[in-house]
Each structure stands twice: as structure tokens, then as C-alpha cells.
Amino acid sequence: MVGTLRRLRVTRMIKSSLIHSAIVSAIASSALAFGLPDYPLVPGEAIIRTANPKALQQTLSALSQQFAGVGVIDDIDGRPVYLISYALTPKQTYHQVEAMLLNLVAQGTLTWAEMNYVGQTGEGNTDSLWLSGVGVNSGSYLDQYAVPLLGINDAHARSRGAGVVVSVIDTGIDASHAIFDGRISPQGASFVPKSPGWGDIAQGVDSDNDGLIDEQMGHGTFVAGLIHLVAPDAMILSARALDSDGRGNCFRIAQAVAWSVDRGAHVVNMSLGETYHSKALEDMVLEASTRGVIVTGAAGNRNTADPREFPACDPNAFGVSAFDWNDHKASFSNFEDQLDFAAPGDSDLVNGVPNMARCIIGPVPGNNYAIWEGTSFANAFVSGTAALIRAQRPDWPGSVVRPPQVRNRVYSVLVNSGVPFVPQNPDHEGLLGRVRVSASGAVLENPIAPPLGDVNADGAVGAPDIAMVLSSWGPAPTFVRADLNADGAVDARDLTILLTNWGQ
């Protein structure tokens, strides 16, 4: 998520043409001049959670007495949560629909009800785009300032994230990018209506009416690239809930969280936000935490504490603010006493020219690399570090650490190993999280992680692991350790990965 760039007060990084490899400068403008971005209602849609099996039909029947077009659009698989439609006459308002639904809640027919609202990347609501064509490549990606600052290379001596699945709820991921080297699961899913692919694709529509088309295409790939930088052996799932303008809505985002949990994700990265505190999202984040899944959320990019962004400020998620190369608050980062951690997210441009030693660099579609900044990317670094920790503890959850305790265990590791930052940020004490995360410090708190292919987590890849792969042979709709490529099946491809890593 992005706000203003240091020294230049920029809210837009203009995406260069990858075809012509043009070098493009940032255009200066003030976000404050146009007011804070809002998160509008999705017309004709509401979300309900029913309290009993008959409640859905009772609700639809009651609404149909006053409103046209009432029906079920979609549901969250395995949960009594429904997206319903309604149509209004010129004399009706959505407040009347809301009032009727709240009355059904009061009667006990519904557990809760709410209108459906838009959510999006912070970069999208501040019109911040990635900057490419400035000489960035795989070398600058691997050597960016966040790597030594977080101690990423040192951390890899103890954990590389093997055996962990990270779900990225975003604009999709370009799995063909060379940097990923097969670590993007082919079992992604799209929750964007009428757009079934889970890749990071251009849709050619200005869905947020800001005059820019597809301005957030690449966001999910960039986020996934930073997670991969921290945890290169983790598998990444693409849960595409945002369109190419970076826009989604409460229901689709909550639906993506539920799918990620059901698919077996250990970490769910949400580099997005909504200022409306959605009950649907709150319920799914709570369920994730209860089932031992870590959820991370970006704080937002408007340099404000109000309005809060969710899920960053949800008590069951990790909220992440953005820092620069000196552990100072990034000028754009939101601040709030509900946040948990800080991580690098700032980039330095002077008159549109990047200082490469002070930039966040990641992959973008087309096998290219770019510069970006925002709390979205700080959030990705925290997700990657959480993946390193989870890889070290394949016994979590288990008989000793129960699923609801996993979040607190990971939280404690990150806090205990993190870097204090109050002296650098005295004006925001208690508002940027507890510590700036340290990957190298976090991995010292637990045993060395099993290597890739070590299915039984005994510290080596050998015959017992082959036996476990063979015993798990077949479909794996929920992730199991024997599904080494997280493609939803244990088969010859997993056996090949195991043999490639034999003896490690």
C-alpha cells in the first residue's frame, strides 16, 4: 500500500511500457487535495449468516415482499454465509433493506447481516503504480535493502519455508515468472466474478473510475515475489479476489479466506484493506485463527489512524505498518494501536529517479522486475517470516500446541526476536506495532526446519519419506506434507521433487 514518496510527495508511480522498456518518472500530486478515498457500497448486494437451516428461505421470502430481484448470488462453501441480491425502485434505499435484515437478526433468524462493500489494495486507492524500466533485475531483487535489514540470507541457514503453504489473496500471480521456479501451486482459484483465471491478468476495465486501466495488475505477483524472497521453499497459492484495478469486495475477500483455510494454507497474506469492518471477513479471519492459520493484513497508505483498515486491525490478524531503510516510519504508512508489526516497505525516488539502495524490488508479469512501495509489501515480508517459523514447527498444531494457540506462538516468536524501534519513531510510539520483524532472529527461536522433501520431518530426506509419499498417494484436496508441489494430489511429481532433494 502506498501514499507519498519521500522528498517528492508522489502518489503515483507510473507503470512503464514493458514492450518499449521506457524509463518513466513519477508524477507529483497530493492525495489530500482530493480527499481520502472511500469504499463504496456494492449496489444490490448484501451478506447474511443464517442461524438455522430454514433461515435462508425465510429471509428471501421476507425481502421479496418489499423488494424485487431477491435471490442468492453465491455462498461461502461449507458455511451458512450467503451473498444475496435485491433491486430498488426509485423511492427505495438500501437503508430499508438493511433495516429489514437487522430486524431478522433481532428475531434470531439471522446471526448477522450487512451490506457488501468494496475493499482494495492501498496502492489502488492512492493511485500508486509500479515503476519499471529503470534497470532493476533479478540481482537487484535479491540484493535489495530489505534482505540484509531483515537478515533473510542468514535466516535461510535454519529455515527456507519448506512444507508451508502461503495463500496470497490479491490480483493473482504470474506463475510463469522465472523467479518462482515452480513454487506457485497450480491449484489457485479466482473469486473475481466472470474472470475464472487465477493469474495476474489485465482485464481492460477501469473498475474504480479513476481514469486508469489495469493499474494494479502486477500487485499480486510483486507481493508473492517478496514472500518467495523470504521463504523460497514455501509453496504459494493464488487466491485471486481483486481485479486488475486492485478492487474487490467484502464477500469475495471473505470467500477467498475460507477457501485458503480449507485448502490447507498455513499463512494467509492480505495486502489489501477495507475501512468497513465486515462481519463476513471478521468471521473468516476468526475461523482461520481458530484453525491455526496466520492471517496478515496491511495497515494502509494514507498516513492516518482513522479510518482503520481491516483485516490489519482485526484482533485475530497481524497488522503491519511500513518502515524505510533506517527503521523510520514510511511517510505514507497508516498508524494505529491495533497494529502488531513493522517491516520494510518504503522506496526512495528523487525527481522520479530511484535510489536503488533504498528501494523495494519485486517481480511483475512478463518476467520483469519493478520498484514499488507500500504497506502491502511490508505485509509480505511479515508473511514470509511467519512461513519460516511455521516450517520449523511441523508439529504445530498438535497434541501440545492446539490450533487456536498457533497464532499466539508465532506472535511471541516475532515479538521476542524483533527489533525495537521507538527511538526512531517517538511521535508514533505504540502505533506502528510491537517491533520491526527480523527473519534472522525469528528462526533462532525454534529448531532447524526440515528440508524440502522431508515429509516425516525427521531432518533428512530418505526412504521413510518415500514410504509416506506412497502411503498418501492420490487426491489431496486439503494440503498434506506429501503433496510437495501443493497441486492437490500426491503423485509422481511429488516423488520427483523428493528424489531431487534426496540426502539433504
Positions annotated as catalytic residues are: 170, 219, 376
Grid cell for residue 179: 523467479
Whether 410 and 296 have beta carbons less than 8 Å apart is answered as no
Cell of 290: 481458530
Tell me how crowded residue 317 is: count the other CB atoms within 10 A of its CB: 26
Question: φ, ψ for residue 11 (rounded to 5)?
Answer: -115, 0
Residue 140 CB partners (closer than 8 Å, separation 6+): 356, 359, 361, 369
CB contact at 8 A, 430 and 337:
yes
Q: What is the largest CA-CA distance in the chain?
A: 72
Closest CA to 175 of 186, 165, 191, 164: 186
- DSSP track, 333-398: ----TT--EEEE----EETTEE-GGG-EEEEETTTEEEEE-SHHHHHHHHHHHHHHHHHH-TT-SS
How far apart are alpha carbons 483 and 475 in whole angstroms? 9
DSSP per residue over 152-200, as a string? HHHHTTT---TT-EEEEEES---TT-GGGTT-B-S--EE-STT----S-
Alpha-carbon separation of residue 412 from 169, 174, 274, 406 (angstroms): 25, 34, 27, 10
Instruction: Decide the pairing of beta strands 247-249 and 110-120.
Output: antiparallel
